[in-house]
């Protein structure tokens, strides 16, 4: 009896300590505090364990110190080189300048002119284009993916890197230790090393239990970056895998969008890669960041936006919300994962309320049933405000894109959920170019043509159990 009482008292004391910690931790919105207090108090033992494993955005003190040290020592972004190539100005209309100032406040990168880009046709075309660029590389190839699978496309990239290394090109390949565990533990990883490709694991897990004591395991590097000779870079949503995506084949095909960029913007992606590489390996690649940047006389203005748990809190939501508030005519969004905070939800609704034609395209079948259910809990308010909701039925729409007023595009790896806001390292590119935005808008229109509209009548017809389930998942959104 005494032992039982002591156990209960200890349990209550632990709960109290954690509740106090939840209430005093910085950068928590009230909904997150309420959700965690509910979990801790309502689910004995399991609630405490859940908070200890997933309750705080912490990748480990040593990792944070190392990353910040690396970022401090990385040379500042070089100046655009004047001369024969010209010194392309970043000519951004005044009405959009504040968007790029927001981006600068996040990553420290200025908007830079003189860029060009092409939207890739589809996933397989993207891989073929990457391989062609790797085969043409003369100095270095830098590659970073969240998910890299040992399938057909994944193997083709491995073979291209091996060919490049064989002819003396410096190849550095990096993959997230959790998302890419299949290829990291496959013979292909060793084959690359034996061929002279330098490899590194982003945020290595090691021993699961020991890692849990030092930081969250589910804080991952979600970036997708390829840099060739400092001249070419790719940015978008696609992982290094077949569209059939063998690890989750029942949701296939994965539908992604990637852009191939040239111009000064490449150096900004190179900076992101260098920071990640030097934080995960013992090799310093500062020398690649020092030479002046050449820029053609013409080209559109663009800016890399890199976010993550060691970057300013709420950085990615601020970028999204700035775009929502800036829209005057049209806003088209594609995202597979939508679990916004109250401010973001209000910003989207506000755009629709003031007459902006606002459309969001989600996948009809989501590979995360939790996120899928939570996303649908927001449908009623969106529809009431006049937001058009469409569900894509041609596979899992994995594209993360935003076009605004036919002139501004944001493309990259960030979803509209807490994982991308607080937990994952992400990379996106924001640019002003009506012509390329029109191309991206046409791709979004293709998605719309393969989507079914969601109406208020459909949502109102949901059963009580469906609404209860979706809203329950949404309540847990701050801790997902």
- pLDDT, tens digit only, all 480 positions of the chain: 667 777 666 766 776 776 777 676 666 666 667 776 777 777 777 766 666 656 666 666 676 677 777 777 777 877 666 544 445 667 899 999 999 999 999 999 999 999 999 999 999 999 999 999 999 999 999 999 999 999 999 999 999 999 999 999 999 999 999 999 999 999 999 999 999 999 999 988 765 555 555 556 667 899 999 999 999 999 999 999 999 998 898 999 999 999 999 999 999 999 999 999 998 888 999 899 988 887 787 899 999 999 988 888 789 999 999 999 999 999 999 999 999 988 999 999 999 999 999 999 999 999 988 899 999 999 999 999 999 999 999 999 999 999 999 999 999 999 999 888 888 999 999 999 999 999 999 999 999 999 999 999 999 999 999 998 888 888 776 555
In this prediction, residue 130 carries a pLDDT of 98
Residues 207 and 111 in one domain: yes
Residues 293 and 345 in one domain: no
Query: How far is it, in rounded angstroms, from Cα 296 to Cα 52?
Result: 52
In this prediction, residue 190 carries a pLDDT of 97
Residues 140 and 210 in one domain: yes
In this prediction, residue 84 carries a pLDDT of 43
Residue 310 lies in a domain: no
In this prediction, residue 294 carries a pLDDT of 78
- What CATH number should be reported for the domain holding residue 76? 3.30.870.10
Residues 113 and 184 in one domain: yes
In this prediction, residue 57 carries a pLDDT of 62
In this prediction, residue 20 carries a pLDDT of 77
**Residue 80 structural domain:** 61-301
Residue 308 lies in a domain: no
- Catalytic amino acids? 222, 224, 229, 398, 400, 405
In this prediction, residue 466 carries a pLDDT of 92
Residues 99 and 228 in one domain: yes
- Choosing from 250, 268, 301, the residue where a domain stops is 301
In this prediction, residue 204 carries a pLDDT of 84
For the chain, what is the domain count?
A: 3
Residues 50 and 65 in one domain: no
Residues 376 and 275 in one domain: no
Query: How far is it, in rounded angstroms, from Cα 180 to Cα 199?
Result: 12
Residue 152 lies in a domain: yes
Is 116 buried (19+), middle (13-18) or exposed (0-12) by CB count in 10 A? middle
The residues, any chain, with a CB within 8 Å of residue 214's CB and separated by 6 or more, are 60, 61, 62
Residue 381 lies in a domain: yes
Distances from the Cα of 382 to the Cαs of 112, 162, 346, 392, 417, in angstroms?
35, 49, 9, 17, 16
Angle at 374 between CA 410 and CA 368, to 5 degrees: 75
Residue 307 lies in a domain: no
Residue 72 lies in a domain: yes
Residues 393 and 439 in one domain: yes
Residue 309 lies in a domain: no
Query: How far is it, in rounded angstroms, from Cα 181 to Cα 205?
Result: 10
In this prediction, residue 309 carries a pLDDT of 83
Residues 192 and 79 in one domain: yes
Residues 346 and 443 in one domain: yes
Residues 203 and 79 in one domain: yes
Residues 75 and 216 in one domain: yes
Q: What is the pTM of this model?
A: 0.90
Distances from the Cα of 322 to the Cαs of 64, 95, 315, 414, 450, in angstroms?
28, 12, 11, 15, 29
């Amino acid at each position: 009896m005494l032992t039982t009482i002591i156990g209960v008292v200890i349990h209550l004391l632990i709960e109290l300590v954690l509740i106090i910690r939840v209430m005093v931790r910085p950068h928590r919105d009230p909904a997150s505090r309420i959700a965690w207090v509910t979990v801790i108090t309502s689910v004995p033992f399991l609630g405490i364990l859940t908070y200890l494993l997933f309750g705080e955005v912490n990748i480990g003190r040593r990792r944070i110190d190392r990353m910040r040290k690396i970022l401090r020592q990385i040379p500042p972004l070089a100046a655009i080189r004047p001369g024969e190539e010209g010194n392309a100005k970043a000519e951004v209309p005044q009405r959009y300048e504040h968007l790029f100032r927001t981006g600068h406040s996040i990553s420290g990168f200025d908007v830079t002119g003189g860029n060009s880009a092409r939207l890739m046709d589809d996933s397989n075309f993207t891989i073929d284009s990457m391989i062609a660029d790797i085969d043409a590389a003369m100095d270095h190839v830098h590659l970073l993916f969240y998910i890299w699978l040992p399938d057909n496309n994944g193997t083709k990239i491995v073979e291209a890197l091996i060919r490049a290394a064989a002819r003396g090109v410096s190849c550095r390949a990096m993959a997230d230790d959790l998302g890419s565990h299949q290829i990291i533990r496959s013979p292909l990883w060793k084959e690359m090393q034996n061929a002279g490709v330098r490899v590194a694991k982003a945020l290595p897990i090691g021993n699961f239990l020991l890692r849990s004591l030092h930081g969250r395991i589910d804080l991952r590097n979600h970036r997708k970056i390829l840099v060739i000779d400092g001249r070419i870079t790719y940015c978008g949503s696609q992982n290094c895998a077949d569209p059939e995506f063998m690890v989750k084949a029942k949701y296939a095909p994965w539908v992604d969008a990637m852009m191939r960029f040239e111009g000064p913007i490449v150096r900004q992606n190179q900076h992101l890669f260098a920071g990640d590489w030097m934080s995960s390996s013992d090799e310093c690649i500062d020398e690649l960041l020092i030479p002046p940047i050449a820029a053609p006389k013409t080209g559109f203005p663009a800016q890399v936006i890199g976010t993550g748990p060691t970057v300013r809190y709420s950085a990615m939501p601020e970028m999204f919300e700035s775009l929502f508030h800036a829209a005057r005519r049209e806003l088209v969004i594609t995202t597979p994962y939508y679990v916004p905070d109250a401010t973001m939800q209000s910003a989207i609704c506000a755009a629709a309320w003031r007459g902006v034609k606002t459309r969001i395209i989600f996948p009809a079948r989501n590979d995360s049933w939790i996120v899928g259910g939570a996303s649908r809990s927001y449908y009623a308010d969106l529809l009431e405000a006049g937001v058009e909701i469409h569900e894509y039925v041609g596979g899992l729409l994995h594209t993360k894109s935003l076009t605004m007023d036919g002139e501004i595009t944001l493309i990259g790896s960030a979803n509209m959920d807490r994982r991308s806001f607080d937990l994952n390292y992400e990379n996106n590119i924001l640019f002003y170019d009506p012509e390329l935005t029109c191309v991206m808008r046409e791709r979004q229109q293709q998605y719309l043509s393969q989507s079914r509209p969601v109406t208020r009548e459909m949502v109102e017809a949901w059963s009580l159990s469906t609404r209860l389930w979706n809203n329950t998942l949404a309540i847990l959104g701050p801790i997902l």
